[in-house]
């Protein structure tokens, strides 16, 4: 994934922990101070939604059936979800820009 600022081309992939933990759709570039927004790929949305749905369904069945095996499968699904998005970023979304300009261009 390309973590460069769309304005100043500074790599924001290694931000300070205090900046990286706050999950906001719009952030300020630490170098040029311009407002940029997260550019989320549709594949990320699909993966996260599928994992979350699987967790809900498996947890409901595990509770309803009182099954330890299903409870372990919920845990496995959580671990799969924790691995899926970083793996997607490294394999499929290598050149996808993580940040985009927050300024909307006017339509002609």
Structural domain boundaries in the chain = 1-40+94-108, 42-92
Tokens of 71: 């409870």
Flag whether pLDDT at 18 surpasses 60: no
44 compared with 38, residue with greater pLDDT: 44
pLDDT of residue 20: 53
Q: Report the alpha-carbon distance of residue 14 to residue 93 in Å, rounded.
A: 18
Tell me which residue of 55, 56, 57, 60 sits closest to 75, measured CA to CA. Answer: 55
Q: For residue 58, give the H/E element and its range.
A: helix 42-65
Q: Distance between CA 29 and CA 34 in Å, rounded? A: 6
Q: pTM of the entire structure?
A: 0.69
- pLDDT tens-digit profile of 58-105? 999 999 999 999 999 999 999 999 999 889 888 888 888 888 887 665
């Amino acid at each position: 994934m390309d973590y460069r600022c769309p304005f100043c081309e500074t790599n924001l992939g290694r931000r300070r922990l205090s900046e990286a933990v706050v999950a906001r759709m719009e952030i300020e570039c630490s170098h040029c101070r311009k407002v940029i927004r997260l550019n989320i790929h549709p594949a990320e949305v699909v993966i996260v939604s599928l994992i979350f749905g699987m967790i809900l369904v498996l947890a409901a069945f595990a509770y309803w059936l009182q099954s330890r095996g299903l409870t372990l499968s919920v845990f496995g699904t959580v671990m799969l979800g924790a691995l899926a998005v970083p793996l997607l970023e490294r394999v499929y979304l290598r050149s996808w820009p993580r940040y985009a300009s927050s300024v909307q261009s006017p339509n002609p």
